[in-house]
Amino acid sequence: MLLNRRNSGERWRVRPDGPGKVTGALAYLTDMDVPGALYALVLRSPHPHARIVSIHTEAARSLPGVAAVLTHADVPGLNRFGIARQDQPVFCEDRTRYVGDAVAAVAAETLALAGSALDLIEVEYEPLPIVGDPEQALLPEAPLLHPEGNILHSKSYRSGDAEAIFGQCAHVVEETYVTTRQMHAYMETEGGLFVPGPDGSLTVYAPTQHGFMDRLQLSRILAMPERRIRIVSSPIGGSFGGKDELNVQPYGSLLAMVTGRPVKIHNSRRESVRSGLKRHPMTIRMKTGTDESGRILAHRVRIVADTGPYATLGAEVLNFATEHVVSAYRFGSVDVESISVFTNNGMSGEFRGFGGNQAIFALEGQMDRLAEAVGMDPWEFRRLNMKAADEPGPFGQTIARTDGLAKVWAAAADSALWKERVHLDISENSDIISTSSATFDPKRGGGDLPLWKRTGIGAALVMHGAGLGYGIPDPSGGRLALRKDGKIEASFGFEECGQGLIATLEQMLVERFGFAAEDLRIVIGDSDAVPDSGSSTASRATSMMWKSLSLLQTPFTEKLLTEAANCCGLPVQRLRLGPGGIWDRESGERAIGYPALAERLAEPIVCEASTSYPVPDTDIVGAHYLYSYAAVVVKVEIDDLTGRIRVLRQFHAVAAGPVMNPQGYLGQIEGGSSMALGFALLEESTMAQGQYIANNFDTYLIPTIADLSGPVEVLAIEDLPDGDAYGPRGVGEIGSVGLAAAIASAVRNAAGIFIHRLPIDPALLQEVMPIGQWAVMSDER
Amino acid sequence: MQMSDAVGFSASTPTVWRPRHAEEAYRLKKQFGHDAAYVSGGTLLRTQWENGSPVPGHLIDLSSAAEWKEAGADNGTFAIGAQTTLSACRSDPQLQALYPLIVEASRSIAAPSIRNLATIGGNVSSGVGDSLPALLVYEAQLDWYDDGGERTESLEDWLRRMQDGTAQTDSLLLRVRLPLESANLDPSENLSENPSLTADPAHSFAYYAKIGRRDSFVPSAVTTALTGTIDGSGRLRRVRLAAGGGKTIPRRYPEAEARLEGKAADDRSVHLLHAILMASYTPAPDPFLSDEYRKRTAANVAASHLWRAISEFAHGKEGERCC
Ligand SMILES: Cc1cc2nc3c(=O)[nH]c(=O)nc-3n(C[C@H](O)[C@H](O)[C@H](O)COP(=O)(O)OP(=O)(O)OC[C@H]3O[C@@H](n4cnc5c(N)ncnc54)[C@H](O)[C@@H]3O)c2cc1C
């Protein structure tokens, strides 16, 4: 179904958190204030790589109005953090490894005083040679950034003997693909409010994608039991993976515990750019060969990722990229070796798409090149090499069967955009037309376009794994209750970071149970009030809510109906759940309202479910079991004068199981594709000598509405095989994956240039004197 | 200074002065020298402070001087007060009729909320504002206030002195003047209203373009403006070309203008314009776009302006006129 308001009918609902967000009335956690709060700032290293000779804080400490100045010496517990591996210093002891590294933090009565205190902290650094490039970091003479070496992680996957088979290939394509450091660019920068309790407890109001993980990490740092730490973590002004890892929480927490006073901290955009995570820049070298007929026989891939100074989820991102450079094609033999390398550049980490964006850009680029080498239509070429529904996953693992891949392929082939391309390609190659006018080019000018504008259409195919993958604990669960006040309370340990989780949960409760929205209270993002559902990452939250609700449906319904039957003296079979209360099937009347029922109960009705994200039966860490599929077709326009690209139209076919919330689904694909458009055309956090060149949105350019003005059609393919037990697959990331590759493909179609680096450099597409060939007037006129 | 009320005294926050007259503002600037800055909308200053420039101890807020907010005909010129906001420029019907490129330039700068504060005076004083190429092709004059009282100087001269580093830094800009003879009095445009003019097929043209790394709300990489006329015999007359962009101080291109004068409006003129800009447009360094790219962009875009003018003329003005 084409997702839009009209086709969605009553399922198109007003988002519960929408009005507050649109009007600005909603307070984010970084908007919170309490009387008597101190203001905190963090002193970060000006050097990408340096030895710390000495730190003197006396002058700062003695400044009136300064409540505390902390360094590594003041951390009671583990002076390290990291979701997967705790190697990032809370405060550096003797060495800094990037410009975001923290050396000290202060809390003062005002922000200005905190700033003055920072100026008074004397740190003597001895700059060390900068490792600014992962390839350089791998050289034997490179300085070691960690005692174990400069390699964070390597991953390989091999099947068959690719190297030997290249010799038998009729066509071999080799290319190096380069992607750069993209910033999440969330509206709300990192920050929060940290409130110590009189009993030695701590409440943290700070955005994160996984409150329980923050609680665990903070308990290690503070040397405090987890139960004394409460994390309130929603609503969040955007995260996209960027706030899953700890950021300023250690500083706010330590300062609050030391001073015994509430502490407020909020990164400026510059601090956020400097210290925050970015998408991993990757260099992906591919060599792929086919036989005469276009069947792929061998695929060799080498990935080098720049992970920056510390681990966070660098290893997991690399695993994901390794899996997705293979994706859904039937390669005769595969040989992938990937490596994630420490450098003194900015921190790389989790980012929507999780390594798939880079992998698919490279893989789909390779498909287009091979198709041309073979002399085939690129989309047909893909079909020839696509796996069938019952074939194993990228790592040879068993995966949940769906026909998603074939269906998105067919939907794209059938789309008006792709048909337009096929038609134009035919007319371009047709002799009849090209002899009629020496300068005729069906892709140039025409309609409202001046002659220096060319258009082209391209497409890309995407397979995207969801969940954390094999080998990483991935539990989840949720709770339903009828509370004393008569509200049906749904509690999940997920976060609302703008993706529409609350809206989707509400819609599932309304549609599955028959409740009215007013009957419900949704509780998320508070570690004292919710069960641990796992992280709101990896496109997993909707699947896990769906799974939990399906586990809860029978027990919770039965309990409600049994209690209602007791109260009303009616047989259970006559009752059903409905809006406002329990209804009598026979009379069609409401038998008892939820509040009335709650009042009659001695104890609230509570049901909990626990589950975990499905994984394949394999021993390959990171291998996925559930996948979503997408095909993206895009039409672009290139301006020869400037080489700049404009995206005119997009078509996305997405196969991810049933649509839980049409507005949310559409929003995820549109929003994801907007980020992909930035990744393809604009966004690059360039670093020179370990320093960011663009420190704010005046020079780090994300797309504006003017760049996103073209129509975006989203076709949701909902079919799942009979008996599928997994329901909706995630759509949180997949919209952000394929567009860059499709744009590159469209550029090839329009301008005959293969793109191997993102963002696309306009200089590559700019023509010298593009109007020269279009005579307007000459002496012959 | 008795007329000024100073607000906000503190060690770290600057003193804000609110002079009501040019003389007073200038005196304050002289008195505090480098430790003072004129502030109009404050929008450019704000970005500079964000990027680490020191905030001076004294801010001379020019917004209290109503006399500099007016736009209108004055003494054979059209005067725009320095305090006129870009939003006001954008929607001024007289400017739209007479100097449409200024309206177009105003529209291309920043975003609506910023244009509500940002002034034409601040844009000009920056030396690199995107209004400058448009003002240059209209041969704008600047009214300054400094030691000798009020004086007028051509924008072109002032920008040349900015480039040389010989422009006075304390002078106060009062208004921008546009000569009425450079206004857009396109004879062909009057055709419908005045049939008696049909005998004269001369065609006036005016184009402006701002090119950045994205479509809107973006610092310019290259900004160009081109005006001129194609006379009844198909010859180019009074072509005026200006280009700037980014940190590049905009200037006119007299060599191109002179060599195009009287030339046939045809492909060769388009090529000539392109070649001259390729050879002479020298962009200031930019960390994101190469010099070569920006040179080509300036030449391509300016050449496309002329191409449009010629093709409009050739096709009896069917084409749209825009960047
Ligand atoms: C997000 C953003 C985007 C922007 N985009 C653009 C853009 O696309 N194009 C562009 O050209 N600019 C842009 N700017 C810069 C700025 O907004 C404009 O140049 C604006 O016109 C400056 O006017 P102002 O009144 O705010 O100047 P101010 O910031 O008040 O002053 C600018 C400079 O001129 C001096 N000055 C001001 N008035 C006078 C006077 N009367 N006499 C002498 N000196 C004076 C000031 O001391 C200062 O040095 C942008 C700014 C921001 C914040």
| Torsion of Cα atoms, A89 then A92 then A96 then A100, to 10° | 60
Q: Establish, for the pair of chains A and B, how many residue pairs have beta carbons separated by less than 8 Å.
A: 106
Query: Is residue A606 pLDDT above 90, yes or no?
Result: yes
State the pLDDT at residue B2: 32
State the pLDDT at residue B186: 52
Q: Mean pLDDT lowest for which of A157-171, A184-198, B64-78, B115-129?
A: B64-78
With 0-12 / 13-18 / 19 or more C-beta atoms within 10 angstroms meaning exposed / middle / buried, residue A296 is buried
Indicate whether B239 and B259 sit together in one domain: yes
Indicate whether B140 and B210 sit together in one domain: no
Domain residue ranges of chain A, discontinuous segments joined by +:
29-130+184-275, 475-612
Q: Is B256 in the pocket of ligand 1 (CB under 6 A)?
A: no
ipTM score above 0.95: no
State the pLDDT at residue A52: 98
State the pLDDT at residue A27: 95
**C-beta atoms of A450 and B215 within 8 A:** no
Indicate whether B295 belongs to any domain.
Answer: yes
The answer to whether A703 faces chain B, any CB pair under 8 Å, is yes
Span B81-85, average pLDDT: 96
Q: Could you say which of B22, B44, B61 is where a domain stops?
A: B61
Indicate whether B163 and B98 sit together in one domain: yes
CA quadruple A165, A168, A170, A175: dihedral sign: positive
Query: Is residue B7 pLDDT above 70, yes or no?
Result: no
Can you give the residue range of the structural domain that contains B300? 198-322
**CATH number of the domain that B281 lies in?**
3.30.390.50
Indicate whether B193 belongs to any domain.
Answer: no
State the pLDDT at residue A426: 80
CA A63 to ligand 1 centroid distance, Å:
37
Span A755-768, average pLDDT: 96
Span B222-229, average pLDDT: 98
Query: Is residue B185 pLDDT above 90, yes or no?
Result: no
State the pLDDT at residue B9: 34
Indicate whether B84 belongs to any domain.
Answer: yes
Q: Is B110 in the pocket of ligand 1 (CB under 6 A)?
A: yes
Q: Is B94 in the pocket of ligand 1 (CB under 6 A)?
A: no
Q: How close A218 gets to chain B, by Cα (Å)?
A: 33
With 0-12 / 13-18 / 19 or more C-beta atoms within 10 angstroms meaning exposed / middle / buried, residue A272 is buried
The answer to whether B265 faces chain A, any CB pair under 8 Å, is yes
The answer to whether B242 faces chain A, any CB pair under 8 Å, is no
Indicate whether B255 and B298 sit together in one domain: yes
Confidence of residue B182 (pLDDT cuts 50, 70, 90): confident
Q: Is the peptide bond before A759 cis (omega within 30 degrees of 0)?
A: yes
Is pTM beyond 0.90? Reply is: yes
Chain A environment of B299 (Cβ under 8 Å): 769
Query: Is residue B41 pLDDT above 60, yes or no?
Result: yes
Residue type, A4: N
Residue range A105-129, pLDDT digits in tens = 999 999 999 999 999 999 999 999 9
Report which of B51, B45, B288 is spatially closest to residue A696, judged by C-alpha positions. Answer: B51
Q: Is B233 in the pocket of ligand 1 (CB under 6 A)?
A: no
Residue range A173-199, pLDDT digits in tens = 999 999 999 999 999 999 999 999 999
The 3-state secondary structure of chain B, one letter per residue: CCCCCCECCCCCCCEEECCCCHHHHHHHHHHHHHHEEEECCCHHHHHHHHCCCCCCCEEEEHHHCHHHHCEEEECCEEEEECCCEHHHHHCCHHHHHHCHHHHHHHHHCCCHHHHCCCEHHHHHHCCCCCCHHHHHHCCCEEEEEECCEEEEEEHHHHHHHHHHCCCCCCCEEEEEEEEHHHCCCCHHHHCCCCHHHHHCCCEEEEEEEEEECCCCCCCEEEEEEEEEEECCCCEEEEEEEEEEECCEEEEECHHHHHHHCCCECCHHHHHHHHHHHHHHCCCCCCCCCCHHHHHHHHHHHHHHHHHHHHHHHHCCCCCCCCC
Q: Mean pLDDT lowest for which of A138-152, A274-288, B8-22?
A: B8-22
Radius of gyration of chain A (CA): 28
Average pLDDT along chain A: 95
Laid out side by side, the sheet with B248-252 consists of: B203-212, B220-230, B236-245, B248-252
Measured CA angle at A534 (ends A529, A539), to 5 deg: 125
Cβ under 8 Å to A: B residues 18-47: 47
Residue range A220-248, pLDDT digits in tens = 999 999 999 999 999 999 999 999 999 99
Chain A environment of B267 (Cβ under 8 Å): 772, 775-778
- β-partners of residue A717 are A655
Residue range A86-103, pLDDT digits in tens = 999 999 999 999 999 999
Confidence of residue B6 (pLDDT cuts 50, 70, 90): very low
State the pLDDT at residue B11: 42
**C-beta atoms of A777 and B265 within 8 A:** yes
Q: Which residues, other chains included, contact A625 with Cβ-Cβ below 8 Å and sequence gap of 6+?
A: A393, A397, A398, A399, A400, A467, A470, A614, A615, A616
Residue of chain A whose alpha carbon sits nearest to that of B320:
A448
Query: Is residue B320 pLDDT above 80, yes or no?
Result: no
Asked if B241 contacts B252 with a C-beta cutoff of 8 angstroms, the reply is yes
Indicate whether B190 belongs to any domain.
Answer: no
Closest C-alpha to ligand 1, atom 19: B123
Confidence of residue A339 (pLDDT cuts 50, 70, 90): very high
Q: Is B42 in the pocket of ligand 1 (CB under 6 A)?
A: yes
State the pLDDT at residue A775: 58
- The beta-carbon neighbor of B267 closest among A699, A768, A778 is A778
Q: How close A760 gets to chain B, by Cα (Å)?
A: 11
Closest C-alpha to ligand 1, atom 47: B38
Span A687-711, average pLDDT: 95
Fold annotation for A29-130+184-275:
Aldehyde Oxidoreductase; domain 3 (3.90.1170)
| Torsion of Cα atoms, B295 then B299 then B304 then B307, to 10° | -170
Residue range A13-52, pLDDT digits in tens = 999 999 999 999 999 999 999 999 999 999 999 999 999 9
Indicate whether B231 belongs to any domain.
Answer: yes
The answer to whether A689 faces chain B, any CB pair under 8 Å, is no
b/e A64-76 (16+ beta carbons within 10 angstroms → b): eebbbbbbbebbe
The answer to whether A291 faces chain B, any CB pair under 8 Å, is no
Indicate whether B187 belongs to any domain.
Answer: no
**CATH number of the domain that B117 lies in?**
3.30.465.10
- The beta-carbon neighbor of A777 closest among B216, B267, B303 is B267
Residue of chain A whose alpha carbon sits nearest to that of B302:
A641
Top pLDDT among B174 and A777 is at B174
CA B61 to ligand 1 centroid distance, Å:
13
Span A699-725, average pLDDT: 96
Q: Which residues, other chains included, contact A139 with Cβ-Cβ below 8 Å and sequence gap of 6+?
A: none
Indicate whether B70 and B178 sit together in one domain: yes
The answer to whether A781 faces chain B, any CB pair under 8 Å, is yes
Top pLDDT among A612 and A777 is at A612
What number does CATH give the domain A475-612?
3.30.365.10
Total count of domains within chain B:
3
Report which of A146, A177, A99, A147 is spatially closest to residue A342, judged by C-alpha positions. Answer: A146
Q: Is B244 in the pocket of ligand 1 (CB under 6 A)?
A: no
Residue range A380-420, pLDDT digits in tens = 999 999 999 999 999 999 999 999 999 999 999 999 999 99
Closest C-alpha to ligand 1, atom 40: B173
Q: Is B248 in the pocket of ligand 1 (CB under 6 A)?
A: no
The answer to whether A365 faces chain B, any CB pair under 8 Å, is no
CATH topology agreement for domains A29-130+184-275 and A475-612: no
Indicate whether B158 and B255 sit together in one domain: no
To test the contact with chain A by mutation, choose from B290, B297, B301, B320 the residue with the greatest count of A C-beta atoms within 10 A, namely: B297
Q: Could you say which of B10, B27, B61 is where a domain stops?
A: B61
Indicate whether B42 and B80 sit together in one domain: no
Residue range B230-263, pLDDT digits in tens = 999 999 999 999 999 999 999 999 999 999 999 9
Q: Could you say which of B133, B155, B182 is where a domain stops?
A: B182
